[in-house]
Every structure is written in C-alpha cells, then in structure tokens.
Structure 1
Amino acid sequence: MSAHHLRGSLLLVAAMAGFSVSDALVQRAGSGLDAGQLAWLRYALLLLTALPLALRQPGLLRSRRPFLQLGRAAGLVGSAVLFLQGIKTLPMAEATALVFASPLYVTLLSALLLHEPWRPWRHAPVLLGFAGVLVVAQPGGAGFDAGMLFPLLSSLAWAGAVLCTRLLSGSDPAPTTILYSAALGVLALALPAARIDPGVFALQWPWLLAMAGSWCIAQWLIVWAYRIAPPSAIAPFSYSQLFWAALLGWMVFGQVPQGSTLLGIALIVLSGLWAAWMARPRPELEPGSAHPGRRSVEPSAKSGPKHE
C-alpha cells in the first residue's frame, strides 16, 4: 500500500469513527429534539464551514444542473432524517448495518432508470451484502422491529442521491455539490428547526454541538481522503463504520449485538471486501492472451450512507 493509500485509508477510518460518535451523541443528547431538528443542526454547521470556501471562490455557487443538485439534496436530507429517527430507537450496530442495503437499491435503480446492465457475477457481492441486511432485520421473525424500516428507507433515499451524483459527474465540481447539499439541507429543514425548544437547547448545547461537530468533521475527512487516494483503493475502509457503531454501542450504552446481528455484519463486510477485490486494478495480460492490456472496469466497492 502506497503512502497516499495509507493516509487516505486512515482518514476514511477516522471519518467513519466521527459519524459513529455523532450517532452515539444523538442517542445521548437527542431526546428533546426530533430527527429533523438534529439533522438541521448538522447541516447548519456544515454550511458554516463551507461558506469561507464560497466567499473565496464565488463561482462555486453556480451549478450547471441545479435541478439535479436539488434532487441530490432531497435524497440526502431524507436519508439523514430517516436514519436519525431509526438511531433514536434502535441499537447503533443494527441501525448502521441496515443502511448498508443501499448498494442493492443503487444497483436496481441504475438498471431501471439509467439502463445499466445487470450482470449476476458482477453484482453477486451486492446480493451477499443484502443477505446480511436481511439477517440483521429478520423480516417476519421475532427479532423484527418496526423501527428497522427507518434505516431501510434511509438507504433507499441515499440510493436516489447516489444516482443524482452519478448524473452530476463532470458537470459540477465537488465543492459546488457540497455547498448545494449544505445550503439546501438547511433550507429544507428550516421549519422543524424553528420549533427547537430554546430551553432544551440551552441545557444540551455542548452535547448537540459535539454531535454536529463530529459529523461535520467526518464530512470533510471524507473529502480529504478521496482527494489523496483513489476511491477503489480505500472504499472498503468505509465498512469500519460497522465496527465503530458496535464498539460505541457496547461501551456507551451496553448494547451487545446478538448473534444474528454479528452474522449479518460479517456478511456485509465480506460483500464489501469482495466488491473491492473485483474492482481492483488488474495487471496487463501476457502477450498472446485473448485481451492484451485490458484492465478491470468493475465499479469500486459500494458502501452505505455517510449521513450527509
């Protein structure tokens, strides 16, 4: 592993830890605020950190495809609110594992809307990951909780945002997309934010600031990580979020994952590693082979939502 890959991997692992710390603080201090209010605090702080960039480069405020930016932001806001609603009622490890259903949604929606071909072998890791999600959720079983629907719907909203991101590729630079996501998130959640109880905020503001701050830092760590290392090389490290969620859930709240949850998490992580292995750059074939010089064109490992 090169130095750039190592730094990118460490930054991505740190970002996943930041997301999990933020989720733990939601369970610790979010009882007086609803999911929309908590999400607004996150987006408001992200916008504050992005504004200096916009002031230095005003051109970043112009988008070539504003309607796609609007659709992407709607998907991200929906994903964030639904996940926060789920994390308020479910153990952290379970809620985090369930949002990793998004690769299946992305694959299906890409086939339906973008007419991308379905190749069983290429998408086998996605099916394995979804099997892991089913093991965690146990639909129709005694372990099923209606609250599990929130992270599952969150992953569907995230998949819609991913499709918009694909369509935006090559149209707008990454900083423009971040600015639009933050600004539209703040606007979309303005109504629930206006109902924040000042008394609750005054009592819990250090915890709430830490909740929004750790999430915001994680967002920028991801941007930094993918700037110094290729996504296909470091994307599997996003699955470390499952480890951090399980560790913090156990250390802070005494939430010990059950056997089925651990099995499901193992399948999800295995699917991510499998997808990363399939997406690895392949060396050129020896002279005289059927496809000389051909390299892998498989997609990089897909991961679950990062709570944008």
Structure 2
Amino acid sequence: MTGNDTKRGIMLMSLTMLIFASQDGISRYLAAEYNVLMVVMIRYWFFAAFVLTVSAKRAGSIANAARTRQPVLQTFRGVLLALEVCVMVAAFTLLGLIESMAIFISYPLIVAALSGPILGEQVGAYRWTAIGIGFVGVLVILQPGGGVFSPYALVAVTAALMFALYTLLTRYAARQDTAAASFFWTGTAGAVAMSVIGIWFWEPMAPRDWLWMLALCVSGATGHYLLIKTYEVAEASAVQPFAYLQLVFVSVIGLLVFNEDLRTNVIIGAGLVIAAGIFTIWRARRATA
C-alpha cells in the first residue's frame, strides 16, 4: 500500500538517484575496460538473485511471483530492458555520462507522447505543448545543425526510446498482471537473455575491477530496493520530479571523475527537458486528482 509521507519519499528518491548515478559512473569505468555485454551480464546475475529473493518474500513463493497471463509480453519486457541497459552503458563510453543522461531524461516525454496511441490515454493540449518544448530541449542538446553533432548521441536517443517503450509495456502489462509478476520477469528474463549473449564475450578481469563489479551489483540492488521503498511511503507523482536529480549527480561524477565538459547547450537543453517533464507529471497528477 502506498503511504503519504512525502518528505520521507523525497529523501529516499534523492538517495536512490545518488546511488543510481554512482552505478552509472562505475558502469562507465568498467565498460571502458571490458566488453559492455559481459559487464551487463554479470550485473544481471546479481540483479536476478535480488529479484528472486524479493519476489519470493512479497508473493509468498517464486511460483506465485512468476504467475502471469502474458508470458510473451513479460519476457519481451525483460529482454528489452536488458538490451536498453547495454545501449545506455555503451552511450556512457561513447558520449560521456553527462550528455548521455541529459538526452536519456527525455524518456518520460516520449512515454507521454506515445501513451495515447499505445495505451489509449488522453493527452491534452498543455501536455502536448510541454512534450514539444521538451523535444526542443533535446534538439538543443544534440545541436544537429551546429557543426558539433556527434552521431554517438543517437545511441543515447535509442536508449531513451527503448526505455520509454519498456515503461509503456510495463503499464500495459499491469492491466492483467501484478507488480510482483512484472518485477520477477524483468529480472529473470533479462538475466537469461544476457547470459545467452554475454557469455561469448567473457574476458579476464583484474582483481581490483572485480571489487568495482561487486560495487556495481550491490549499488544496483540497493537502488532498486530503495526505489521500491520510495513508492511504498509516498505517492509516485509527488516524488517523481526528484528523479531528475540523477542528472545532477551524474554531472558531478562526470566532471570530477571523468573530466567531462558541461557545455552551455547541454545545460539549456536539459533545463528545458526537465521543466517540460515536471510540468507533464504535474498535469497528469491533476488529471487523476
């Protein structure tokens, strides 16, 4: 049951975003040293163990958690998310943390734009205006006609599109399946898919990097656990705007750890995307109030 302790929910969401940003930084480091598919595969092994543990506890048994009326859809969702993680981590190494995340945070706007044709939800004129402004922000970040456009930016765009589709499919699946079922299939289907793909790209890892890999796995499980707790203590619409703090934390890591640049167009574009995203969340909340 969702609570209404908004203050605690905001604190938990902020901490969750800090952990996820740290996870992104570790992923960027490891993916620069080793094959992306192997890194994501090992991460998913740990994530699957976490999912099985949580699912069994919440649903009473793994069998209960796995019960679904839509096995094909749930499997596709899980595989799609795993592949999206691979694409996003690749974007970190090709484009950098800051610009990749600045583009990726546009995914809620993509979800809002596609929720009408895919889910049959109503999207009013105000929300369409916000979506348009947000996409202008993405163009400001990309600078397609400015002579400095990087084709690697399309990798981050692809990740945002994939995650938006995953989000929409999750909402669609929720019409017939429980949240526990969706959570179970997200972890297990993704782990199986990554094992089939990633095992062919195995390579030796230095002892110190195994420690970083352990930190990556623990941070991922911890972040997901805190995210679950966040939505248990507060309404999603109240805490969701604070998810944009991940960009702030990622930017700090990118600047201080990886010596990335924070260009003016990225600041302006990301500001437009965030403002549009928060307005979209606010309008959605008013519509359901």
Q: TM-score w.r.t. structure 2 length? A: 0.90
The answer to whether the Cα contact below 8 Å between 2:4 and 2:234 also exists between their aligned partners in 1 is no
Q: 1:178 aligns with which of 175, 183, 191?
A: 183
Q: How does 1:72-91 map to 2 (within 5 A)?
A: 72-91=77-96
Partners of 2:118 and 2:177 lie apart in 1 by: 21
- Which consecutive residues of structure 2, in runs of 5 or more, have no partner in the other structure? none
Query: What is the Cα deviation at residue 88 of structure 1?
Result: 1.0
Query: Which residue in 2 is equivalent to 1:95?
Result: 100
Deviations 1:125-158 (A, max 9, x none): 2222222111111123222111111110011111
Say if 1:249 and 1:255, in contact at 8 Å, map to a contact too: yes
Once the two structures are superposed, the pairs formed by residues 266-305 of structure 1 within 5 Å of their partners are 266-281=271-286, 296-297=287-288
> Which residue of 119, 138, 141 corresponds with 1:114?
119
Cα distance change on mapping 1:202 and 1:192 into 2, 3 Å: farther
Map residues 206-221 of structure 1 onto 2, 5 A cutoff. Answer: 206-221=211-226
Q: How does 1:123-134 map to 2 (within 5 A)?
A: 123-134=128-139
Q: Which amino acid aligns with 1:120?
A: A
Which position in structure 2 is the counterpart of 1:289? Answer: none
Alignment partner for residue 163 of structure 1, among 165, 168, 172? 168
Q: Per-residue CA shift, 1:169-219, capped at 9, x if unaligned?
A: 242222221121111111111134313545225451001111222122111
Who is 1:10 aligned against? 11
Contact 2:113/2:131 (<8 A) preserved: no
1:249 aligns with 2:254: yes
Distance apart, 1:280 and its partner CA: 4.3
Aligned to 1:33: 34
Q: Are the counterparts in 1 of residues 75 and 189 from structure 2 also a CA contact under 8 Å?
A: yes
Query: For 1:26-65, what per-residue CA distance to the aligned partner results, in whole angstroms no more than 9, with x for missing partners?
Result: 2223323222222222221111122223444221121122
- Structure 1 residues 251-286: Cα deviation after superposition (integer angstroms, max 9, x where no partner): 1112230111111121122113322433445xxxxx
Q: Relative contact order (C-alpha < 8 Å, sep 6+): which is higher?
A: 2
The number of aligned residues is 283
The equivalent position to 1:137 in structure 2, one of 125, 134, 142, is 142
Is the partner of 2:95 in helix, strand or coil? coil
| Aligned partner (choices 149, 156, 165) of residue 151 of structure 1 | 156
Higher helix share: 2
Paired residue type of 1:193 = G
Counterpart secondary structure, 1:140: coil
Deviations 1:91-124 (A, max 9, x none): 2111001112323432343333334344221222
Q: Which is further off, 27-36 or 260-269?
A: 27-36
Q: Quote the sequence identity (%).
A: 25
Counterpart residue type for residue 6 of structure 2: H
Give the ranges of 4+ consecutive aligned residues of structure 1 lying more than 6 Å apart after TM superposition: none
* Deviation readout 1:67-88 (Å, 9 max, x if unpaired): 2212221321222111011011
C-alpha distance in structure 2 between counterparts of 1:159 and 1:27, whole Å: 22
CA RMSD of aligned residues (A): 2.1
Gaps of 5+ in 1: 282-295, 299-308
Other structure's SS at 2:105 match: helix
Match of 1:288 in 2: none
- 1:277–1:118 distance in 2 versus 1, CA, 3 Å: closer
